[in-house]
Amino acid sequence: MHTLSRMTGWLVLTFAFALPVGAQQTPAQKDLAKDQQQRTVNQPGNNSEVWRDVRSGQPNNTTVPGRETGVLVQAQARFPGQENMTTAGEAWRKFRNGPVTFYGGWLVILMCAIIGAIYYTRGPIKLHDKPTGRVIDRFSLAERWAHWVMGISFCVLSVSGLIILFGKHVLLPVLGYTLFAWLTALGKNLHNFVAPLFIVSLLVFIVMYLKDNLPEKGDATWLANGWKFFYGVHLSSGRFNAGEKVWFWVGVVVLCLIVSVSGLILLFPNFDQLRSTMQQASVVHAIAAILVIGFAIGHIYMGTIGVEGAYGNMRDGVTDETWAKEHHDMWYDDVKSGGAGVTTAAKSGAAPQTLH
Amino acid sequence: MIRCSLLAASVLCIGGCMEVEQVSNAQKQAGQTVRRDTNPWSNEPLANGPKWSKGDRTSWEEQIKKRQLAQHEHRRIYE
Amino acid sequence: MARMKFLCDAERCIECNGCVTACKNENEVPWGVNRRRVVTINDGVIGAEKSISVACMHCSDAPCMAVCPVDCFYKTADGVVLHDKDLCIGCGYCFYACPFGAPQFPQAGAFGLRGKMDKCTFCAGGPEEDKSEAEFKKYGRNRLAEGKLPACAEMCSTKALLGGDGDVIADIYRERVARRGSKGAEAWGWGSAYGQPPKGAAPAAPAGGKS
Ligand code: HEM
Ligand code: SF4
Ligand code: SF4
């Protein structure tokens, strides 16, 4: 639990940090107008108050309708790590094209490298005992639907999002302008239209899986010794182990909700959000997305080739008794005894079945 | 599979590190569809419009700069 | 070599919106899009009111160009920043990045879905064949290919809006500022748009220019 809250704390800090420092408080425009009147008398031709007003990024009068048309030039701002104030647009450009792209790209690569290294050195985690042939229910149909709708839409969003952020550097030289622009337009539309589906499935998923992801006794031990997992040591755990719980809380709940909210701000420009709002939403969206993609790479590895049997569990909803006993002993005991903490799905499946 | 994704990932990283340099199309043309555009001086002047010799950048610029002097307040109209 | 720039003289702009109208007419800009706009500071406050006409400044190190996910912008040999509407995906990033709010979007669908970006072309059209029907439909008139300058600057009644080669603009403006007693020397927007002049080149901004 401690580790969890500390991690959440760091995340919140990261995002607080990702927001740019706004321009210094500028004096009210009325005062500037008065000062300018005075200056025009004393120093005709000196318009410094007018220019200060313009630099503040506050809207002035214009007959042209539209978003922020009264703003001549964007206010000054500075994103983290930037020494000088520049116009917010320039600052956003430097931050997005700089650290977000650079470290974001490295993070994705690093994650792939770690996973690759684990796969090649440790290999997949196999069962120790023979499968019994008797299976018990692990995921209900509704739970599987929630998982797969979310998972597949997540992958569509990840790939299309990555194309928008990195495609120019990676795919454009290969595909050429015409094909790449077509692909990116497709990606953008997929991103825009799959997003609502993702958000709905995300909310349903969180509600459905919340109960079994609540912290319980033994999680701390698991977190401290979880790495031994790759050396074949299984620690005691309930329906979900502490590693899965971290993925649930940090990856799914915190990061995906941040991605969703920031994404919605970008998705509906018809609410006349300010450019500064969209710049901030965009970098928060990109950073959170990259982090959760990193997480997801790990999760997808464990769910497919990393752990023998895991993928089948989510596909068929049932698991072999041996798998249950070895990976989630406390849950297995609960199911067997029909005791507390057993999901309805698991209860109904207590009777032995045969795998098709 | 993993090897492929690793490879893809490293390509991704190499690209992710840079911002494309902004150059004019005169310097960067071959094979880059988007940067292909005709230079204004490569056009035939209009029959009754400003004159330059087709394809000659200097003569086009000279007439543009001369024309621009019409924006000088001491010369109300273009001569 | 010519380097195309815009400059608006705040001492002269009378907020007549002639440039806005000229642009709309010359380029037959779609509904809801205005490539140029006039902003008035301290509107109605005697002795403090100033107006500026602004559109795309055709920046030296253009932020719009840098953030475009499909890299659809290009810079012409005379420094004009143009884009290819066939490639644009309407993501709006150039609008976030542009200091001057130049990129505009016709609404293309429900929920404010953006259409293809449209912005001032310095009356230089786009990548289509010069002076062709297709170019006019997408980008408007290609006046540079006709040996002319942007319509807005050429018709400005007070000659507040200057457009053309940057060095010539600087000369005209410098002389003008000198004649009015070194007053109103600010070359607004030149700092953000054109930055520092390259070494050995003529100064990018006339005397007193900053911001
Ligand atoms: C939850 C719902 C989501 C919404 C509403 C949403 C919305 C958006 C929008 C509107 C954009 C701007 C790009 C454009 O319009 O073409 C965007 C960009 C992006 N999205 Fe999402 N998105 C969502 C989920 C995700 C997910 C799950 C991921 C990946 C894990 C993701 C990754 C990205 C990335 C990497 C970008 C590019 C950022 C950049 O170029 O700076 N998004 N998203
Ligand atoms: S003014 Fe805006 S749209 Fe024009 S070149 Fe500069 S950043 Fe791009
Ligand atoms: S709206 Fe079009 S031109 Fe602007 S950044 Fe997006 S793709 Fe590029």
Give the number of residues written for chain C: 211
Low-confidence ranges of chain A (pLDDT < 70): 1-27, 339-356
At position C118, the amino acid (one-letter code) is D
Q: State how far the Cα of A168 lies from the Cα of C72, in Å rounded to an integer.
A: 10
Write out chain B residues lying below 8 Å of C146, CB-based: 43, 45-46, 49-50
CB contact C32 to A (< 8 Å): yes
Query: Would you identify the CATH topology of the domain C4-194?
Result: Alpha-Beta Plaits (3.30.70)
Q: pTM to 2 decimals?
A: 0.87
pLDDT at A272: 80
Query: Which residues of chain B make contact with C67, given a CB cutoff of 8 A?
Result: none
CA of residue B57 to ligand 3 center, whole Å: 31
Residue whose structure tokens are 């499968």 = A131
Eight-state DSSP code of residue B33: G
Q: Whose CA is nearest to atom 6 of ligand 2?
A: C59
What's the one-letter identity of residue A261? V
Q: pLDDT digit string (tens) for A9-47? A: 555 555 655 666 654 445 577 789 999 999 999 888 899
**Is the beta carbon of C97 within 6 A of some atom in ligand 3?**
no
Does the distance separating the beta carbons of A97 and B19 come in below 8 Å?
A: yes
Is the C-beta atom of C59 inside 6 A of ligand 2? yes
Which CATH superfamily is A86-139+210-338 part of? Transmembrane di-heme cytochromes, Chain C (1.20.950.20)
Asked whether C192 and C211 are in contact (CB, 8 A), the reply is yes
Would you call B38 and C71 a contact, using CB atoms and an 8 Å cutoff? no
Q: DSSP label at C76?
A: -
Put simply, whether C150 touches B (Cβ < 8 Å) is: no
Is C104 in Cβ contact with A66 (below 8 Å)? Answer: yes
Residue C97 CA, ligand 1 centroid: distance in Å: 17
- A104 to chain B: which residues are within 8 Å by CB? 16
Q: Which stretches within chain A are classed as H helix?
A: 2-18, 29-42, 48-55, 88-95, 101-122, 141-170, 172-175, 177-209, 219-225, 242-246, 256-267, 275-301, 310-316, 321-327, 329-337, 344-348
Q: Is C106 in the pocket of ligand 3 (CB under 6 A)?
A: no
**Chain C residues whose beta carbon lies within 8 Å of the beta carbon of residue A172:** 70-71
Contact A62 C38 (CB under 8 A): yes
- Model confidence at C201, in pLDDT bands (50, 70, 90)? very low
- Of B42-56, C76-90, C104-118, C146-160, which range is least confident? C104-118
- Find the ligand nearest to A98 CA: 1
The CA B79 to ligand 2 mean position distance, Å, reads 32
Q: Is C119 in the pocket of ligand 2 (CB under 6 A)?
A: yes
pLDDT in tens, B49-78: 899 999 999 999 999 999 999 898 776 555
**Of all protein residues, whose CA lies closest to atom 8 belonging to ligand 3?**
C68
Per-residue pLDDT at B22: 56
Which tops the pLDDT comparison, A29 or C71?
A: C71
**For position C31, what pLDDT does the model report?**
83
Closest residue in chain B to residue C135, using alpha carbons only: B37
- Which two structure tokens, joined as six digits, stand for A258? 């941040």
How buried is residue B47: exposed, middle or buried, by Cβ count under 10 Å (0-12/13-18/19+)?
Answer: exposed
Interchain contact, A97 vs C66, CB within 8 Å: yes
For chain B, list residues whose CB is within 8 angstroms of any CB belonging to chain C.
Answer: 19-20, 22-26, 34-40, 42-43, 45-46, 49-52, 57, 60-61, 63-65, 67-73
Q: What per-residue confidence (pLDDT) applies to C172?
A: 93
Band (pLDDT 50/70/90 cuts) for residue C32 is confident
Please give the structure tokens belonging to residue A126: 């196999």
Q: Which of B2, B15, B34 sits opposite A116 (nearest CB)?
A: B2
C41 touches chain A (CB under 8 A): yes
CB C63 less than 6 A from any atom of ligand 2: yes
A-contacting residues in B 18-37 (Cβ below 8 Å) = 18-20, 32-34
Q: Is C20 on the interface with B (CB under 8 A)?
A: no
Q: Write down the pLDDT at residue C74.
A: 92
CA distance A53 to A50: 5
Residue spans per domain, chain A: 86-139+210-338
Which residues, numbered 116 to 175 in chain C, qualify as contacts with chain A under a Cβ-Cβ cut-off of 8 Å?
Answer: none
With beta carbons less than 8 A apart as the criterion, state whether B16 and A106 touch.
Answer: yes
- Sign (positive or negative) of CA dihedral A260, A263, A268, A271: positive
**If residue B67 lies in a helix (H) or strand (E), which one and from where to where?**
helix B57-68
Domain ranges of chain B: 39-79
CA A18 to chain centre: 15
The proportion of chain B whose per-residue pLDDT surpasses 90, expressed as a percent, equals 34
Please name the residue ranges forming H helices in chain C: 18-27, 63-67, 93-97, 133-139, 151-155, 166-179, 190-194
Beta pairing partners, C4: C165
Q: What is the pLDDT of residues A261-289, one digit of tens each?
A: 999 999 988 788 899 999 999 999 999 99
| Model pLDDT for residues C118-134, shown as the tens digit of each residue | 999 999 999 999 999 99
Q: Which of C74, C142, C147 is nearest residue B35 as measured by Cβ atoms?
A: C74
CA angle C188, C194, C196 (to 5 degrees): 105
